[in-house]
Structure 1
C-alpha cells in the first residue's frame, strides 16, 4: 500500500499541470474562472466514478487535483499569497457557491476514500471531515466520519458528541448507531477504570492510616 504522502505529492504535481493546460486558461478572467470551476467539478465527478468502481487511489487523485485547482480561486487561500502572480477578480456569488460546494464534496469524498484504505490515516479523515463541518455544519456524513476517526484516535467523549449529533439527524442509520454504541461502551469502561483507580487509592490510604495508628499504639505501650 502506497504511503499517503507520496500519493498527495503526485496528485499536487498532476493538478498543477492540469491547471496550466486548461482550455481558455489565458482568456478573459470571467471565462477563465468558470472554466476552472467546471474543470474542478468534472474532476470531482470522475472521482465519484472511480470510487463507485472501488478504484480508491484514482478517486483520491481526482479529488486532490480538483481541490488544487479550486485553491487558485479560493479568496481565503489567496489572501495569504497576495502580490505573487496575477490577481484574479472577486468571484461572483454564483461562482463562490459552486467553488465551495465542489470543495466540500471533495473533502467529504476524500474522507470516505481514506476510510476504505487498508491502513487508515484517521487524523487526515478527521481533518477533512472537520473542514466539511466548518463550511456545511450538520452534514451527517462528515459528523459520522469525524466521530469514527476521533473514536479510533482515542477520544471517546468527543467522538460521542459527533456521533450523537449524526444519530439525531439519521436515527435509523445502523452504522451511526453501532459506532455511537462503541463510543458509549468505551466511555463506560474508562469510567469503571477511573472508579477502580480511586477505590485503590482510597483503600491504600485507609491501609496506611491503619498501619500508622497501630504503630502509634505500639509505641505508647512500649513507652509505659
Structure 2
C-alpha cells in the first residue's frame, strides 16, 4: 500500500512539473483523465487554438491558377509597431537648413523631379512629445504628393521626398518653420505651435508625366485605367522576380481607388474598379508570401474577402500565410473553404497535405516529449491470489 502511495505521489509530482513546463511554453491545458492509457485521446489536453476539422467537405467546381510552394512553417520577427519613431544609425544628410534625412531602407532608380506625382506612405510625430498624429499605413492608402504643389505644412516633407528613390524609406526631421509653423495644426490638435516634426516616410513610386493630371481631375474611367496600367507593371516586375518593386506598383494602383472613390461607385463602375483593385491586393499577398511577410499577406487577403468572402485565391493565400505562422486551425479553415469552391485545384490539395504532414510531425514530437518528462509508465503490481475463494468457486 505504501509503495502504491509513493508511486502515485511521484506521478503527481511529475505531472505538476509537466504542467509547469507547458505553462512556461504558453500552452493552455485542461484536465485529462488517464494520460498513459488514453494518450491519443489526451491530445485534446493541448489547446493552442488548433483542433480537428472535417477533411471531407466537398463543393462546386472552381479554379485557382496559383503555383504552390512547400510550406516552411517558420515564424517571422514582428514588424515595428510604429508607435514611436524608428531608430537609425545611418549617416545624417542635411537637405536644407531645417530638413535632415537618415535612410532606413535603400531605394532604386532615379529621384523624382519637380511636379512629379509621388505616392508616399508616412508616419508623423511631434519631436518634443513623440506623439504620433498621422499614419497613412493604418489607412492602407498612400498619399499623392505633387512636388512643388504641396500644401505649406508639407514643404519640409516635400524636400525629403524629392531626395528619395522609389522604394526608399527614410527618417526625415523637419523644423517647425517648414511644418505647421508658429500656430500649430487645427486639423491635428496634438501638434502644438512651433513643433518640429519627425517623419518616417517611404516613396512608393512616382510619375513624371505618365497621366498628365492628378487623380482628383480624372474621370472614373481614367482612374481605373491608370490603376490597371500599374497593376500590369506590377505583374511584369513579379514575373522578373522583383516582388518589392511589384508591391510598389500595386500600391500606386490601389492609390487611385481609395475608399472615398470606391464609395461613390455603383453598378458597372464599381465592378470595373473591383476587377482591378482586388487583383492588386491578391498579387500583393503573393509578393508578401514570397518575401515571408505573412501578416501583411493575411491583411491583403482580408481586404479582398471583405468584398468577396468566397474568393478562392484570397482564401488559399491567407490559408498558406496562416500555415506559415503556425495558425493551423485558421489555415485549415481557409484551405477547406477554398477547396469547397475549387475541389480539383492541385495547389489547395497540396497545401492541405503539407498541413496534415506538419501536424503529424508535431504530434510525434509532443508524444516523445511527454514520455521523456513523465518517464516510463509504472508497471502494475501482480494481484495476490485468494486461494480460499479459488477452491470454493
- TM-score tier, shorter chain, comes to 0.5 to 0.7
1:55 — aligned with what?
Answer: 242
CA contact (8 A) 2:315 2:334 kept: yes
Partner of 2:295: 123
Determine the C-alpha separation between the residues in 2 that align with 1:54 and 1:186.
Answer: 28
Which structure: larger Rg? 2
| 1:19-51 superposed Cα distances (whole Å, 9 cap, x missing partner) | 997334488x6x533222210111111111222
Structure 1 counterpart of 2:258, from 67, 71, 75: 71
Q: State the Cα distance separating 1:127 from its structure 2 match.
A: 1.2
Contact 1:126–1:146 under 8 Å retained in 2:
yes
CA distance in 1, matches of 2:341, 2:208: 38
Matched, 1:40 2:233: no
Give CA deviations for 1:84-117 in whole Å, capped at 9, x if unaligned.
xxxxxx3343322222221111000111122223
Question: Which residue does the alignment assign to 1:154?
Answer: 326
Distance 1:129 1:26 in 2: 26
Gaps of 5+ in 1: 77-89, 208-224
The 3-state SS of whatever aligns with 1:165 is helix
Residue 346 of structure 2, aligned match among 139, 158, 174:
174
Partner of 1:102: 276
Identify the match of residue 144 of structure 1 among 308, 316, 338. Answer: 316
Unaligned runs of 5+ in 2: 1-78, 80-103, 108-119, 122-165, 168-201, 379-393
Instruction: Name the structure where strand makes up a greater proportion of residues.
Output: 2
Point out which structure has higher relative CO (alpha carbons under 8 A, 6+ apart): 2
- Cα 1:26–1:178 shift into 2, 3 Å: closer
CA contact (8 A) 1:43 1:66 kept: yes
Cα deviation, residue 189, structure 1: 5.4
CA contact (8 A) 2:204 2:251 kept: no
C-alpha displacement of 1:187: 4.0
Q: Kindly indicate whether the alpha-carbon contact (under 8 Å) linking 2:215 and 2:256 is maintained by their aligned counterparts in 1.
A: no
CA separation in 2, counterparts of 1:157 and 1:25? Answer: 45
| Matching residue of 2:189 | none
Matched residue, 1:220: none
- What is the aligned-residue RMSD (CA, Å)? 3.7
Q: Distance in 1 between matches of 2:215 and 2:339?
A: 48
Whole-Å Cα distance in 1 between the matches of residues 299 and 285 of structure 2? 9
Q: How many residues align?
A: 185
Match of 2:307 among 123, 126, 135: 135
The DSSP-based 3-state class of the residue aligned with 2:256 is helix
SS of the equivalent of 2:212 reads coil
Instruction: Please state whether the residue corresponding to 2:219 is helix, strand or coil.
Output: helix
Give TM-score scaled by structure 2 length: 0.40
Asked if residue 13 in structure 1 is aligned to residue 192 in structure 2, the reply is no
Tell me what 2:212 maps to.
23
